[in-house]
Amino acid sequence: MDRKIDPKIIRQRRIKFISTLAAVAVTAIAGFVLLAGLLRSGISRDDVYTSTVDRGTIEVSIPATGKVIPLSEEVMISPVSTKIMEVYKKAGDEVTEGDIIMKLDLATIHAEIEKQDNELKMKLYKLEQNKITSQSELSDLEMQIEIDEMQIKRMEVLLKNERFLDSIGAGTSDKIRQAELDFAVEQLRLKQLRRKYENQKQITESNNKVLELDYSIALKNAMLKNKTMAEAQVRSPRSATLTWVNDQTGAKVLEGSQLAIVSDLAHYKVEAEVSESYGNRVLSGSDVIVKVSGKELRGSIGNVVPSVKNGIINFTVLLDDNQNEALRSGLKVDVYVINAIQENTLRIANRSYYTGAGEYDLWVVGNGEAVKRRVTLGESSYNYVEVKDGLHEGETVITSDMNRYTDERKLKFRQ
């Protein structure tokens, strides 16, 4: 039979349990305080990056971002509104110049070319017909002028005869006046005929020029239509890689729509952008360093887009080694535009701590500890920062992010 526990024993056990909990809590708090103190006042050498102050060359540069793209790329567009009949190549295929990539429905353009050819022939026939008709009319007028000239000579002879007869008393004054009148009328008629001939000649030349111009325009339109027909034969313009193709057989495409893109994937360039605040330091011909997959490739700025969009300036970098194996189309890269070169300059490594020229609180390492010091930094390259004041050659500086130790002045290195 169970017996009831003495209340005194229960009270002793309760006191013992509470004492144990209190001891554990005190120990935990003390440990936490001690650990926090250690974390606050000490750091591990393996947890930070350091850099030794030395003298050397700094290629002063501004940072930009870029993307690797093919050196040359050609987009094939549809010259007419049509539909895709067949696709012979797929994206990723190697193509040579002249390879047929796809077949378009050209029935409509064939009909237009045939109609245009017929219209061109009609214009040519009309031009030739007008020339023949005009030449015939001018020839008739020339013949009439010759006849009238002969008629005037005849009337001039008659007038001389009448005057002679009148001088010997065999003629009359009325006959002389009639002969003079007939001669004058014939002269006016000849003058009118010659003027008509000159006007007709000018009209003929003008009409011929109009018809020739009309024919020339029709001929150019026909040549343009034939060129469009040739372009509608979707062939590769060069030996390259087909990087994209509209492979939707039967799909309708509008005039100007993209059909395919061929790219030279053996040679590359970089399409870069930078903040407009650096606009006066981004110039064509400036030297550039491109960091890609751990490699440094040098080049120069080819051209700078004159307009600014959303505070960004775009420019193109032409690489000295545009066939480097590290280059891949679409790869994001870091770009550094070099503006000047500083020789024999105090410098430290460029890392995330650096945000531009100015004063910094950096941690100088020595005697097993790091001491905060005010330092003035200047220009930078992609790998070095100019030290203007506050550091000496040979000193070691922490270049990691130390913002969590803002309230500290000195840190011990833990073993």
Sequence-separated (6 or more) residues with CB below 8 Å from residue 349: 49, 51, 383, 384, 385, 399
- Distance (Å, whole) CA 357 – CA 382: 14
> In this structure, what are the phi and psi dihedrals at residue 5, rounded to the nearest 5 degrees?
-75, 140
- Distance (Å, whole) CA 103 – CA 80: 13
Tokens of 108: 């409509």
pTM value is 0.56
pLDDT higher than threshold 60 for residue 34:
no
Tokens of 228: 């469009």
Which residue did the predictor score with more confidence, 290 or 413?
Answer: 290
342 three-state secondary structure: strand
pLDDT mean over 246-267: 88
Give the model confidence (pLDDT) of 82-119 as tens digits. Answer: 888 888 888 888 898 888 888 887 777 767 777 777 77
- Distance (Å, whole) CA 337 – CA 315: 11
- Distance (Å, whole) CA 196 – CA 190: 10
- Distance (Å, whole) CA 200 – CA 67: 70
How confident is residue 2, by pLDDT bands cut at 50, 70 and 90?
very low
Cβ atoms of residues 259 and 253 within 8 Å? yes
364 three-state secondary structure: strand
- Distance (Å, whole) CA 252 – CA 83: 4
How confident is residue 304, by pLDDT bands cut at 50, 70 and 90?
very high
Tokens of 381: 């390259």
- Distance (Å, whole) CA 121 – CA 30: 106
pLDDT at site 19: 67
pLDDT higher than threshold 60 for residue 39:
no
